[in-house]
Amino acid sequence: MNLVHVRRFWLAGVVLAAVLALLPFSFHAERHLETATRIDGSEAGKVPQELATRFHSPFVDRVVLVIQGLPPADSEEGEQALATIEEKLKEEPGVSGVVSRLDFRDSIFLGKGGGTFILVGLASTDGPVEALVPKLHAIENSLQDQLRGRYPALKLELTGETPLNFDIRKASADDVHHAESLVIPGTLALLLVAFGSLVAALIPVAVGQFAIATALAIAGFLALRWHLSILVQNLSTMLGLGLGIDYALLMVSRFREAIASEQNGFKASAIAARQAGRTLLISASTVAIGFVALMTVPISEVRSIGIAGVLVAGMSVLLANTLVPALLAALGPRINAGRVPFIASWDEHRAARKEDRWRRWGKVIVARPWTAIFLAGVPLLLLASQAARLDTSVPRGDWLPSAAESVRALHTLEKMDRVGIVYSLRAIVELPVDSIAQTDTGWNALDRFTKRLASDPRSDRVISITTMAESDRSGLVNLPRETRRAFLSRDGRAALVEVLPGTSVSLNDQVNWVRELRTTGAAALTGMPGATLRIGGIPALTADYQQIVRERFASVMALVVGGTLLALLGGFRSLFAAVKAIALNLLSVAASFGALVLVFQDGHGIRFFGVPEGTVSIFPIVPIVAFAIVFGLSMDYEVFLVARVLEERRRGLSEEDAIPEGLAKTAGLITSAAAIMIVVFAAFTFGSFLVIKMLGFTLAIAVLIDATLVRIVIGPALLRVAGDWNWWPGGLADGPSAPVITGGE
Helix (H) or strand (E) holding 472: none
In this structure, which CATH number among 1.10.3470, 3.30.70, 3.40.1620, 1.20.58 belongs to the domain 423-537? 3.30.70
**pLDDT-derived band of residue 2, with 50, 70 and 90 as boundaries?**
low
Measured CA to CA in angstroms, residue 568 lies from 225, 285, 329, 565, 625 at distances of 35, 10, 31, 5, 22
137 burial via Cβ count (<10 Å: 0-12, 13-18, 19+): middle
pLDDT, tens digit, 9 for 90 and up, residues 366-420:
889 899 999 999 999 999 999 999 998 888 777 777 778 888 999 899 889 888 8
Full DSSP string of 33-58: -B-S--BTT-HHHHHHHHIIIII--T
Residue-level pLDDT at 471:
61
pLDDT, tens digit, 9 for 90 and up, residues 603-657:
898 888 888 888 888 988 889 888 888 887 777 777 778 777 877 777 777 878 8
Rounded Cα distance between 182 and 685, Å, is 11
DSSP label of 241: I
Please give the single-letter amino acid code of residue 598: L
- Fold match between domain 59-164 and domain 423-537: yes
Q: DSSP strand E in 107-264: where?
A: 116-122, 155-159
Region 486-503 average pLDDT: 88
In this structure, which CATH number among 3.40.50.2020, 3.50.50.60, 1.10.260.40, 1.20.1640.10 belongs to the domain 1-32+196-339? 1.20.1640.10
Region 491-501 average pLDDT: 90
Residue-level pLDDT at 75:
87
CATH dotted code for 352-389+549-745? 1.20.1640.10
Strands 155-159 and 61-68: antiparallel
**pLDDT-derived band of residue 259, with 50, 70 and 90 as boundaries?**
confident
Q: Between the ranges 38-47, 177-186, 539-548, 713-722, where is the mean pLDDT highest?
A: 539-548
pLDDT, tens digit, 9 for 90 and up, residues 66-82:
999 888 888 888 889 99
Rounded Cα distance between 509 and 626, Å, is 26
Structure pTM?
0.82
Residue-level pLDDT at 512:
92
**Which residue would you say has higher pLDDT here, 703 or 352?**
703
What mean pLDDT value characterizes the chain? Answer: 83
pLDDT, tens digit, 9 for 90 and up, residues 175-193:
777 777 777 888 888 887 7
Closest-CA residue to 743 (of 670, 660, 649, 661): 670
Q: Find the length of the chain.
A: 745
With a cut of 50, say whether residue 45 has pLDDT above it.
Answer: yes
Rounded Cα distance between 610 and 616, Å, is 16
Considering the chain, what percentage of its residues have pLDDT values greater than 70? 93
CA 4-9-13 angle, to 5 degrees, is 150
CATH class of the domain defined by 59-164:
alpha beta
Rounded Cα distance between 725 and 717, Å, is 14
With a cut of 90, say whether residue 65 has pLDDT above it.
Answer: yes
- Domain range annotation of the chain: 1-32+196-339, 59-164, 352-389+549-745, 423-537
